[in-house]
Amino acid sequence: MAGWDVHTHLIPPTVLSAAHKGAFGLSVDSGALVVDGQRLPLGRLADPAALLHWIAEQDLDGAVVSVPPALFRYDAGVEWAELVNQGLRELATPQLRVLGQLPLLDPAAPAVAASLAREGVFSGFALGTPSYEGLDAVWEVLHSLEAFTLIHPGLSDDKRLESFYLRNLLGNPYETGLAAASLVFADVPGRFPGIRFCLCHGGGVTAALAGRWQRGIDTARPGIEPPSLAVADALRRFYVDDLVHDDAVLELLVATFGPGRVLAGSDWPFPMGSDSVTAARAVAADALTAPLAKEVVGQ
């Protein structure tokens, strides 16, 4: 077996160094990175060798690495993105493909994306789930690059999710579905078809709600401008990982997104991840996640 796990996480060494210095509002306490009130246990998250062991154990060619979502920090701007990206460069090896950090809500984001693509180091980008309003300039660059673009949910601020681990169990799938809906209804897959969006955790609630979204379009619900693509066609332009822990849901993913659009993603090393990856879905990710080495005209 060979192929790639598209959904793994590491904390870049530059972030750890900054935390030990108390920079960027970070700290290290009792074996955890403390960032904006969240605690990320270090251990395997700070150990590339442990990820390489996972790769060997699963008989993979390698893994695609993104930062844990607590490190997206879009309010921290370009300087934060530069710190994260330097650490990702240090992590990149033939077996570890890295996804770049964009200062997504900063006007510099399109130029940063174009600059990272020229390096030949980054295999695409990982995005959180803030509001995507007003990001056409970013989408234009990612479209030109045909960039693999992983959508990973951030932390929901719904206080009702504080019990029963629901911030993860329910909040994460909702956040991913919200991101997908924002893209579909803004006609991003139709207007920028080069972007290779990949939704984490099987796309969250997306597949279950596709028919409802189409009904909203068909009945001209308030605020909806019909996109150029039907919902079913738009979703066939996304990829998803297979991290759903349910064979019946996997069948739904294949029916919704297409058999070649479901990729292996483990969420290593988090406990809600999977214990193994599936061969065929790992192989499908190889060409999609090759390092970018492209110029964007005008950037």
Render pLDDT for 125-140 as a digit per residue (tens, 0 to 9). 999 999 999 999 999 9
**Domain chopping of the chain, boundaries:** 4-12+59-289
Residue type, 137: A
Whether residue 56 is predicted with pLDDT greater than 60 in this model: the reply is yes
Q: What is the chain's mean pLDDT, rounded? A: 95
Whether residue 1 is predicted with pLDDT greater than 60 in this model: the reply is no
Query: Which phi and psi (to 5°) does residue 4 adopt?
Result: -130, 140
Whether residue 12 is predicted with pLDDT greater than 80 in this model: the reply is yes
Which segments within the chain are labelled E, that is strand? 4-9, 27-29, 32-35, 38-41, 62-66, 96-100, 122-127, 148-151, 196-199, 239-241, 262-263
d(CA 120, CA 138): 19
**What is the per-residue pLDDT for 284?**
86
Which DSSP state fits 170? I
Whether residue 95 is predicted with pLDDT greater than 60 in this model: the reply is yes
Whether residue 149 is predicted with pLDDT greater than 70 in this model: the reply is yes
Q: What percent of the chain has pLDDT over 90?
A: 93
pTM recorded for the entire structure? 0.96
Contact between 33 and 11 under an 8 Å Cβ cutoff? The reply is yes
CATH for 4-12+59-289 is: 3.20.20.140
Whether residue 297 is predicted with pLDDT greater than 70 in this model: the reply is no
**What is the per-residue pLDDT for 295?**
74
Contact between 240 and 253 under an 8 Å Cβ cutoff? The reply is yes
d(CA 89, CA 82): 10
Which residue bears the tokens 């844990």? 68
